[in-house]
Structure 1
Amino acid sequence: MPRPSTGRRRAVAPAGVVAFCLCLAAAVPLAADPLRAETRDTARAASEGVSEGPPLALRTNDPETWRVATHPVPPLVMEAEGRLRGFSIDLWNAIARELGVRTAFVRVDDLPALFGAVSDGRADLAIAAVSITAERERRFDFSVTMLETGLRIAVPAAPDATGSATGRALRALLSDATFLQVLLGLAALILAVAALIWWLERRHPGGMAARARPAHGFAHVLWWALSSLAAQAEEMPRSPLARAITVVWLFTCIALVAWFTAGLTSTATVERLRGAINGPQDLPGKRVGTVAHTTSVAYLADHFATPVGFASLEEACAALQAGTVAAVVYDAPALSYYATQPGHAPLRLIGPAFNRQAYGILFAANDPRRKRVNQALLGLREDGRYDEIYSRWFGSESGEAQDR
């Protein structure tokens, strides 16, 4: 017996497969539409600045903020009306613009505090007037040289800082109170001897003042007494007692002249040994003021001078004017700038810079920022912007720093 339903089943099966495929094809666009809609919504939110959750949190245009420690060292770092300015500040601002970073300055009081801010993490780097030395390089990292300079010497611009040793010795003797008292005593002794000789000579018929009026006679005898000091007396008294007094007076004159010559000679010798400071070779054996905890302290100690450290350059220069130190030695840019400023006693700078040294930007050891800063700093040198900043603060020529 035949099975009529078998053919119907075979006809239905292809139809079911076709229907399943049609449903699947319709479902794929429907499943893709939410994804495309989500992509369009995300793009629209990004263009409108609307946050769409964690995926957009990774994309930001805010620049990094670097903490930069610094301390006042005119003209490299100065603070006026709450704002920092100076060569180091202008140079760092140019570097920061090149790197696209923001700066948060960390102000400290002195150089030890500057090192402390970097070492304990309160600052990412430091810029001021930090000399690159082997000892500091063992503890920190430095950028390439940002300024090449050296030390200079300052002395008072007073008249007694110049002239010959004999002239300075004579001025020193005349300003000595004890010496002036001796001179006054010597003048009184000359007057007393002249008065005594005049009185004795008036009574002698052939005396020096016998025929002259009293005033003229006394003046003549006074001139004789003064001439005796230089052994230039042209006549001698006639009275026996006056001659005896004259012998004693002549020996006294020899002693007085010898005393004055010895005093002048010894003082001139001391002045010549202390001397007017004309360069680093004159510093050994002298008390020299400088700023504490700087490379100039080590230089002075290594070259047999006696370094006297002060908290600031202003205090060192005040000690120089007070006479407690013979000179001030410090970094050439800071000392040159201070010498040109009003409001303090004038200074005289001696010779060119010596003990050449380089300033650098200070980093903690192995800080990856150093390479980026070096690239930016070298770029400023190559395109001339470094020279513009240098000439703004130090003149039109940047010397070795410009050539490197």
Structure 2
Amino acid sequence: MALAVSAQAQTQASPQESTAENGANSMVVATREAPPFAMKNEDGEWHGLAIELWRNIAEGKGYDYRFVESDLAGMIDGLQDGRYDASVGALTITAEREELVDFTHPFYATGFGIVTRKSSPGWLNLFNNFFTLGFLKAVLALSALLMLVGVLFWLAERKHNTEEFPEGARGIGSGFWFSAVTMTTVGYGDKAPRSTAGKILALIWMFAAIIIISTFTGMIASSLTAGQISGAISGPDELDSVKVGSIEKSASDEWLSDQGVGFSHYPDVAAGLEAVDAGELDAFVYDAPLLRYSVKQMQLGNLRMLPGSFGRQDYGIALPAGSALREPIDIALLREIESRSWRDDLQKMLGKGD
């Protein structure tokens, strides 16, 4: 239910006093687009989870107000200089912001989400995984081990079995071949140790090879499977090795900086997701519910959200420091979020994920 608005509200307030506490009848409430908590339709009217929450509080308390659009930094700065009486939306409570303004009790708890690209499906993607740096390192390490064992076989056999393990590079190659077929349990039988030392070495290598080949097979299978089901990254620990984007002066900005992750700034979620979809970014980090909603609404089928959320966020309504409105708004807010209608709205807009 829309409430009446007084156009003279802001001009009656001094820079140090909010309009509502200065005796004016109309409050100036700042917000910004952050679907599904704050959205603006084609007629310029605001709606969304946080907007409707504020409307219910204002209606119950008899507050007269009007919405004004701001940016993220302005929602805090405007409370400090008296332009706004409240800031409503997906506004995260942080220690840095709490030093500048007051917050109500949290009305929604969440974390940060990560959006990345889906892997290319099918055999092409599986084939590409064989040419990753990790796979190459594993193959080189295994080859080096086979060469080492092959040289040991050659040293043990070169004087006792010169036909199969001759001197020089050809004999070393024979040792490498024997160590490889023994490890894979193929055992062509074209070469076999004749000396006692060679036979003992072969016996030790057979048992060791069982453990080595099992471990190596598991590593390769894990690597290829992870490559099939993941996009550019599989978790927050990998953010420092890929191209990351977020929104400047947001809570995710602070979180990424604390984690030592460098990232590019984007004006809004839509721009960041489009950059990931176009391959300009490997991951975009922001509030999990906002990302989940935007990915669904934008219908970018090439994107996926990583399971779960990271860090901690609490959304609250921001008020000027020392505001007398904090206590009555807190009481009304708690009543609202304890209601069945609030839970139903969350379920409708965000689904079971949040």
TM-score of the superposed pair, with normalisation by structure 1:
0.54
Render the CA deviation track for 1:271-300: whole Å, top value 9, x for unaligned: 98x984111122122221111111112222
Q: Flag the structure with larger Rg.
A: 1
Distance 1:275 1:377 in 2: 40
Where does residue 88 of structure 1 map in the other structure?
A: 50
Where does residue 374 of structure 1 map in the other structure?
A: 330
Matched, 1:333 2:333: no
With over 3 angstroms needed to count, the CA separation of the structure-2 counterparts of 1:91 and 1:170, relative to structure 1, is: same
Corresponding letter in the other structure for 2:305: L
Corresponding letter in the other structure for 1:133: T
TM alignment of 1:3-402, pairs within 5 A = 64-81=25-42, 82-108=44-70, 110-159=71-120, 167-168=128-129, 170=131, 276-342=232-298, 344=300, 346-395=302-351
With over 3 angstroms needed to count, the CA separation of the structure-2 counterparts of 1:373 and 1:161, relative to structure 1, is: farther
Question: In the alignment, is the contact (CA less than 8 A) between 1:310 and 1:316 conserved in 2?
Answer: yes
Which sections of structure 2, spanning at least 5 residues, go unmatched? 1-23, 134-222
Distance 1:161 1:123 in 2: 54
Question: In the alignment, is the contact (CA less than 8 A) between 1:390 and 1:398 conserved in 2?
Answer: no
RMSD: 3.2
With over 3 angstroms needed to count, the CA separation of the structure-2 counterparts of 1:170 and 1:286, relative to structure 1, is: closer
With over 3 angstroms needed to count, the CA separation of the structure-2 counterparts of 1:69 and 1:158, relative to structure 1, is: same
With over 3 angstroms needed to count, the CA separation of the structure-2 counterparts of 1:275 and 1:292, relative to structure 1, is: same
Which sections of structure 1, spanning at least 5 residues, go unmatched? 1-62, 173-267, 400-404
Q: Find the residue that maps to 1:341 and give its secondary structure.
A: helix
Where does residue 9 of structure 2 map in the other structure?
A: none
Distance 1:103 1:143 in 2: 18
Shift of 1:105: 0.6
Distance 1:132 1:96 in 2: 21
Between the aligned residues of both structures, percent identity stands at: 31
Corresponding letter in the other structure for 2:245: G
With over 3 angstroms needed to count, the CA separation of the structure-2 counterparts of 1:347 and 1:127, relative to structure 1, is: same
Corresponding letter in the other structure for 1:334: L
Question: In the alignment, is the contact (CA less than 8 A) between 1:124 and 1:363 conserved in 2?
Answer: yes
With over 3 angstroms needed to count, the CA separation of the structure-2 counterparts of 1:275 and 1:74, relative to structure 1, is: closer
Q: Find the residue that maps to 1:132 and give its secondary structure.
A: coil
Shift of 1:74: 0.9
Render the CA deviation track for 1:335-382: whole Å, top value 9, x for unaligned: 001110246453111111121210110011000011110010112234
Q: Find the residue that maps to 1:139 and give its secondary structure.
A: coil
Render the CA deviation track for 1:174-220: whole Å, top value 9, x for unaligned: xxxxxxxxxxxxxxxxxxxxxxxxxxxxxxxxxxxxxxxxxxxxxxx
Question: In the alignment, is the contact (CA less than 8 A) between 1:292 and 1:310 conserved in 2?
Answer: yes
With over 3 angstroms needed to count, the CA separation of the structure-2 counterparts of 1:354 and 1:382, relative to structure 1, is: same
Shift of 1:323: 2.3
Corresponding letter in the other structure for 1:281: D
Corresponding letter in the other structure for 1:78: M
Distance 2:353 2:322 in 1: 30
Q: Find the residue that maps to 2:307 and give its secondary structure.
A: strand
Shift of 1:150: 0.7
Distance 2:276 2:234 in 1: 16
With over 3 angstroms needed to count, the CA separation of the structure-2 counterparts of 1:116 and 1:349, relative to structure 1, is: same
Corresponding letter in the other structure for 1:106: V
Which structure shows the higher helix fraction? 1
Distance 1:162 1:65 in 2: 63
Q: Find the residue that maps to 2:263 and give its secondary structure.
A: strand
Distance 1:295 1:66 in 2: 26
With over 3 angstroms needed to count, the CA separation of the structure-2 counterparts of 1:116 and 1:165, relative to structure 1, is: farther
Distance 1:115 1:151 in 2: 21
Shift of 1:102: 2.1
Q: Find the residue that maps to 2:83 and give its secondary structure.
A: coil
Distance 1:327 1:83 in 2: 32
Question: In the alignment, is the contact (CA less than 8 A) between 2:245 and 2:284 conserved in 1?
Answer: yes
Question: In the alignment, is the contact (CA less than 8 A) between 2:107 and 2:337 conserved in 1?
Answer: no
Where does residue 216 of structure 1 map in the other structure?
A: none
Distance 1:166 1:106 in 2: 53
Shift of 1:302: 2.1
Shift of 1:309: 1.2
